[in-house]
């Protein structure tokens, strides 16, 4: 059974870059028909899609974050990563990685989430 596990820095200083990794186990990140996504949830608020990367390497980002986001994949390690630059307190959130089914476009498997706090 496919599982996702986020890891990375839990505390990031303002203006620095947030870096997270999502390890995929129980299946291959190169499987066709899926893309690999990041979603975040500020404390007490709703879900916000950050972006995703297809198995081909193509990426799509939320326009509101596009200038600061990079999602990449490391097939040799079966994992994908998120980098968010120039962070502010507004980027404080629980960050989830998730598998996105191409059709009909839903998130079928989620990681447990990791809390990232932006503070000096």
Q: How far is Cα 92 from Cα 40, in angstroms, rounded to an integer?
A: 9
DSSP string, 60-115: EE-TTTGGGEEEEEETTTTEEEEEE-S--GGG-EEEEEEEEETTTTEEEEE---EE
* CB nearer to another protein: pick between 27 and 49: 49
Subset of 101-120 contacting another protein (CB under 8 A): 101, 104-108, 110-113
Q: How far is Cα 49 from Cα 30, in angstroms, rounded to an integer?
A: 21
CB of 1: closest distance to another protein in angstroms? 12
Q: Does 62 bind another protein (CB under 8 A)?
A: yes
Instruction: Enter the DSSP assignment of 2.
Output: -
Q: How far is Cα 46 from Cα 8, in angstroms, rounded to an integer?
A: 22
* CB nearer to another protein: pick between 34 and 96: 96
CB of 13: closest distance to another protein in angstroms? 26
Q: Among 60, 68, 70, 78, indicate the residue that binds another protein (CB under 8 A).
A: 60
Contact residues toward another protein (CB under 8 A) are 37, 46-49, 52, 60, 62-64, 96, 100-101, 104-108, 110-113
């Amino acid at each position: 059974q496919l599982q996702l596990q986020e890891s990375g820095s839990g505390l990031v200083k303002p203006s620095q870059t947030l870096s997270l990794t999502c390890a995929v186990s129980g299946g291959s990140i190169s499987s066709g028909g899926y893309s690999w996504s990041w979603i975040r949830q500020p404390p007490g608020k709703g879900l916000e899609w950050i972006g995703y990367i297809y198995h081909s390497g193509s990426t799509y980002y939320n326009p509101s974050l596009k200038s600061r986001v990079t999602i990449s994949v490391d097939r040799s390690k079966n994992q994908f990563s998120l980098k968010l630059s120039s962070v502010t307190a507004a980027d404080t959130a629980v960050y989830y990685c998730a598998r996105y089914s191409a059709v009909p476009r839903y998130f079928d498997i989620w990681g447990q989430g990791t809390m990232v706090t932006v503070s000096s």
